[in-house]
Amino acid sequence: MNEPSVLDYLKSKLGMRVELPNEEVNAPLLPPETEEQEPAPLLNELVEISATEIASPVKISSKRFPLRTILALLLALMGQAAFEPPQHASTTGLVFYFAAFLILALAYYREEWRLPSLRESEMNIDDWKFKIFFFFLSIPFILAAFFTFAGNSFNALNLFPWSLSLLLLIWSFWQPKKKKTFPEEVAEDEDKKAKWLWVLLVALIAVIVLFFRLYQIGAVPPEPFSDHAEKILDIYDITQGETHIFFPRNTGREAFQMYWTLLIAKIFGTGLTFLSLKLGTTILGLLTIPYIYLLGKEVANKRVGLIAAFLMGISYWHNVISRVGLRFPLYPLFVAPVLFYLFRGIRKQSRNDFILAGIFLGIGAHGYSSYRIMPFVVIAAILLYLLHKQSRGLRKQVLIHLAILALISIAIFLPLARYALENPYEFSNRALSRIGYLNSESFSIFASNIWDGARMINWDNGNIWVHAVPGRPALGVISGALFLLGVALLLFRYFRRGHWLDLFLLLSILLLQLPSTMSIAFPMENPAMNRAGGATVVIFLIAALAADGLLSSLRSRASRRWEKISVWIFVILLAGISIRQNYDLVFNQYAEEYQRSAWNSSEMGEVILQFEETYGQTDTVWIVPYMHWVDTRLPGVWAGIPNRDFALWQNDLENSRGYAGVKLFMVKPEDEGTLAILASLYPNGKLSRYTSTTPNHDFMIFFVP
């Protein structure tokens, strides 16, 4: 790193620009020194923490108010606000954004708003030492595991050789940690104080994120639907000894969520319930946040990591796909660590980081089918790196590291690989059914899907009420504006510096959205926030990069105490607006939309429970199925009977006469034919209407004494 000269120091004091040849000009958070050495107040120090991570030691301070930066931000915020429903004004929003980008370009040129510097690469040459004995010892265990995984079942016979082979394989390539020759000096007292302030800020954000993720977990979302019934039945199968590798029910599912939910049910004592599903996926969503922080820290600095963790932690998008109780959060959960270890492995030329990336790449394949795009994302990252100047002298080494990554991920994928070989149709049916048969129109549909996928972030996230508020942007006003400004800043910096990572961050969003945009056979299913969920990892990282650059720009021009406090108030205001909007989106708009769209199986479950408490059995309780109505397996879940379908079809109502004792039928009000049949079968029956707490969700109860 170049030290500042005396001339540089004089220029900085005179307000002149100081050129740093090898670093992005990054405005420092620490204020210039003053004559009076008074202790800074808490608000000042909270903003000034982590200043030691600034890339350049030169203090650059301009007294000019950052008008271009503020104006670019305000115009972007107005543009994103115009995209919000109900106005949804595309023309107005585009005009504001166009003006914002023009002013942002000028602010970038004038060095007012810059992204934080990327971390410096390290030139580490691999010694290519590996434990050949353990490598060859792992091969027979891998082969034994492959052959014993036949039959789509985990058992002791195949888990033992598989686990042992993984340990041997990983250990054979793992490099011992190198001892540091020059240990870092002990931090000064002032640094210790900043450290505690940083810990306080992290704790505050952690509390906010935990609140957003766990608040009203039992009530939002309120009701399960058919996919939840399938999951609960799959978990029930495990309790009956059916330890599948791939669960073939309902077009097939990977196994991770089933075993994870069973563990959660055991730990929290929640049983085979909708709450167990929601609690399990919510925790998976929370486990993603630490890796978002690490990813931001790896790309730039720990401020970026914390901002990204905050934005994603309170986000409507990631919160909703985590709360719904399905496999959706497993996609971003494993995207984040793979990218973190891959980026660090490339930057530090660390074989161990490539190994860790391979481990998470392999585990993620057992989670959610959308994750199957991730190997191609890894390959794209390596190819972009190899095509850029940053890889000079390291290309062969990176390719060998990539081969090690691939080998380990394939070994972890082995159980599913064996199932795929035995059952190729079942394994690929769900993904291929969305692509369909390609024809002359497929390319135009795919191109349209790509466009819709790109627009979902700031314009329209689709109409799937299960995991979205239909017809609105996937991001809020603050995060949406920061994201697009961040995209523009990444483009500016890439064309200036040509760093592979800037380009990859932009292209990776399109790649991670492919599970949604490749829905060519069913284009109405695109955009889908669940299938594009992996892109949230990069999207919030880009927004955080823009936010950190904004904060640095404002902070570098705040020399007086009131100016510093004003910057902090501005940051709190932006955070508060984002918190308020995301709270409304999750706990009001999404909750209400979901309540209106899902059927009230919980209320039917209450009726079943009351019947059981009164008469001591539920064998004579039935639900008559009707088109586009409740899944007749779900009321039993609420009643503590997860393995029973309460359906009795209209054509089979006559069979109910073979049961003695009191009987109860639940019928959709529109099903007049069923009500007429029941009246003729049981003239002494009593018909009543159950008034639901949700409008248009009433159902009829036909009671036979």
Domain contains 369: yes
Low-confidence ranges of the chain (pLDDT < 70): 1-63, 179-190
How wide is the angle at C-alpha 409 spanned by C-alphas 408 and 413, nearest 5°? 120
- How far is the CA of 391 from the CAs of 122, 139, 328, in angstroms? 11, 32, 35
566/610 same-domain check: no
Cα–Cα distance measured from residue 52 to residue 653, given in angstroms and rounded to the nearest whole number: 76
Structure confidence at residue 179 (pLDDT) = 67
For 8-17, write each residue's pLDDT tens digit.
544 444 444 4
- Residue 370: inside a domain, yes or no? yes
Same domain, yes or no: 576 and 620? no
Given a contact cutoff of 8 angstroms between Cβ atoms, the answer to whether 252 and 426 are in contact is yes
Residues 605 and 562 in one domain: no
Q: Return d(Cα 471, Cα 632) in angstroms, integer.
A: 30
Q: Would residue 280 count as lying in a domain?
A: yes
Please give the radius of gyration of the chain, using alpha carbons only, rounded to the nearest integer: 29
CA dihedral 290, 295, 301, 306 (to 10 degrees): -30
Cβ-based neighbours of 44, under 8 Å, separated by 6 or more: 31, 561, 564, 565, 568
Q: Residue 433's pLDDT is what? A: 84
Helix (H, G, I), strand (E, B) or coil at 391: helix
**CA-CA distances (angstroms) from residue 662 to 520, 603, 636, 638?**
51, 20, 18, 21
193-252 tens-digit pLDDT: 788 889 999 999 999 999 999 999 999 999 999 999 999 999 999 999 999 999 999 889
C-alpha angle 573/579/581, rounded to 5°?
Answer: 105
Q: Please identify, among 569, 596, 623, the residue that sits at the C-terminal boundary of a domain.
A: 596
d(CA 170, CA 408): 7
Asked whether residue 389 is domain-assigned, the answer is yes
Do 362 and 299 belong together in one domain? yes
- pLDDT given at position 190: 54
Q: For residues 59, 60, 61 and 66, what is the CA-based torsion angle, rounded to 10 degrees?
A: -140
Backbone angles phi, psi at 463, to 5 degrees: -120, 25
Domain endpoint, select from 534, 565, 596: 596
DSSP 20-77: -TTS-----SSPPP-SS-PPPPHHHHHHHTTGGG-S--------S--HHHHHHHHHHH
Is residue 41 a part of any domain in this protein? no
| Rounded-to-integer distance, Cα 54 and Cα 558, Å | 17
Residues 581 and 655 in one domain: no
Query: What's the rounded Cα separation, in Å, for the pair 324 and 368?
Result: 14
Sign of CA dihedral 404, 285, 415, 226: negative
Q: Which of 563, 578, 596 is the last residue of a domain?
A: 596
Residues 385 and 287 in one domain: yes
- What's the angle, vertex CA 115, arms to CA 111 and CA 120, rounded to 5? 115
User: pTM of the predicted model, to two decimals?
Assistant: 0.89
* Residue 221 DSSP symbol: S
184 in a structural domain? no
Q: Would you say 700 and 668 are in contact if contact means Cβ atoms under 8 Å apart?
A: yes
Sign of CA dihedral 677, 682, 683, 687: negative
Contacts of 5 (CB under 8 A, 6+ apart): none
How many domains does one find in the chain? 2
The reply to whether 381 and 266 lie within a common domain is yes
Contact 389, 498 (CB under 8 A): yes
Q: Given this model, what pLDDT does residue 14 score?
A: 41
Tell me the CA distances in angstroms from 13 to 62, 65, 74, 558, one per residue in order.
9, 17, 31, 15
What DSSP assignment string belongs to 443-455?
HHHHHHHHHHHHH
CA 672 to chain centre: 45
Is 69 part of a structural domain of the chain? no
Other Cβ atoms less than 10 A from the Cβ of 282: the count is 20
Structural domain for 498, as ranges: 191-596
Q: Are residues 559 and 632 in the same domain?
A: no
CB 345 within 8 A of CB 353: yes
In a domain, 79, yes or no: no
Asked whether residue 573 falls in the same domain as residue 680, the answer is no
For residues 550 and 657, membership in a common domain is answered with no
The tokens describing 179, both together, are 């001892």
What is the DSSP secondary-structure string of 548-577?
A: HHHHHHHHHT--SHHHHHHHHHHHHHHHHH
Using the Cα atoms of residue 35, residue 38, residue 44 and residue 45 in order, give the sign of their dihedral: positive
Residues 503 and 554 in one domain: yes
Whether the link from the prior residue into 375 is cis, omega within 30° of 0, is: no
Same-domain status, 524 and 653: no
pLDDT for the residue 57 = 36
Peptide bond before 86: cis, by omega within 30 degrees of 0?
yes
Token reading at 82: 């115009």
At position 669, the amino acid (one-letter code) is P
Q: What pLDDT shows up at residue 6?
A: 39
* pLDDT at residue 43 in the model: 41
Residue type, 406: A
